[in-house]
């Protein structure tokens, strides 16, 4: 009888010890979890800041289709849709323009001076300390109407520019332009913003306004949203999901000077 009591006591003892271990472990687990939550709240990860540049604006209409549609309006629409997709994806977004107003000093006496002022202000935003990525949206034009398709230009100043350009090329051709075989190109001094930006920069020509069929597509809301979505997917691919990586990366989707 005594042996039976001792066995029952031992069994009860081990059950209590095991229960205490489980309870203690659970309390420690939740305590550590709580500390991690507090630490995350106290030191949150920085959301990546992306500058979206709608090329041209105001009196500078950019390229024009055969039926008179100006590049600047298409650029702005795609830029806005891109901004919306990126914000939904968790990025902080800044726009160089939200409407048909350029960034520069419009009181300067000549168009050339006003354009230089506009480029200078955009470049300041591209190169600002808190900018991680900048994207400038443009449309292409050529003397012959048969050419079509997006093409990405990238800055020679940073190896990350080429990486971003390839993400965008791959996304656009994979999602909406499967027949597009255009290769990315390194920018020269003729593309002011890319050539002078100190961070990774790219410029995307979304299509050719000189091609009547593509110009008609570029002027539709549906296609503008498709291009914006493809650009957003490329940024997600490049950044790995919206958090700033080690180092200060900036991407510029910009075609600087021109058209």
pLDDT of residue 200: 84
Q: Is 169 helix (H, G, I), strand (E, B) or coil?
A: helix
CATH 3.40.50.720 fits 49-239, yes or no: no
Distance CA 204, CA 51 (A): 14
Token pair of 219 as six digits = 């002027």
Q: Which regions in the chain score pLDDT beneath 70? A: 1-46, 241-259
- pTM value is 0.76
Q: Partners of 70 in the beta sheet?
A: 64
Note the pLDDT tens digit of each residue in 198-219: 888 899 999 999 999 999 999 9
- Predicted local distance difference test score (pLDDT) of residue 201: 87
Cα torsion at 225, 153, 120, 105 (round to 10°)? -40
Tokens at 58, concatenated: 């105001």
Other CB atoms closer than 10 Å to residue 147's CB: what's the count? Answer: 16
């Amino acid at each position: 009888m005594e042996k039976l009591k001792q066995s029952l006591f031992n069994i009860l003892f081990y059950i209590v010890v095991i229960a205490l271990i489980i309870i203690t472990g659970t309390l420690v687990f939740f305590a550590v979890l709580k500390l991690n939550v507090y630490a995350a709240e106290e030191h949150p990860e920085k959301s990546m800041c992306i500058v979206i540049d709608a090329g041209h604006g105001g009196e500078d209409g950019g390229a024009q289709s055969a039926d008179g549609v100006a590049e600047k309006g298409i650029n702005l629409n795609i830029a806005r849709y891109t901004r919306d997709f990126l914000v939904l994806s968790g990025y902080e977004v800044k726009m160089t323009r939200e409407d048909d107003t350029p960034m520069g000093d419009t009181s300067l006496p000549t168009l050339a001076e006003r354009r230089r002022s506009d480029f200078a202000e955009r470049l300041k935003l591209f190169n600002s300390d808190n900018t991680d990525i900048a994207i400038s949206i443009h449309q292409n034009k050529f003397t012959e109407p048969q050419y079509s398709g997006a093409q990405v230009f990238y800055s020679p100043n940073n190896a990350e520019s080429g990486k971003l350009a390839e993400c965008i090329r791959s996304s656009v051709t994979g999602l909406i332009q499967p027949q597009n075989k255009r290769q990315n190109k390194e920018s020269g001094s003729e593309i002011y913003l890319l050539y002078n930006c100190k961070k990774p920069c790219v410029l995307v020509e979304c299509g050719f306004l000189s091609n009547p069929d593509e110009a008609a597509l570029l002027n539709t809301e549906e296609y503008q949203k498709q291009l914006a979505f493809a650009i957003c997917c490329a940024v997600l691919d490049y950044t790995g999901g919206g958090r700033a990586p080690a180092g200060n990366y900036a991407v510029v989707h910009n075609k600087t000077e021109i058209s």
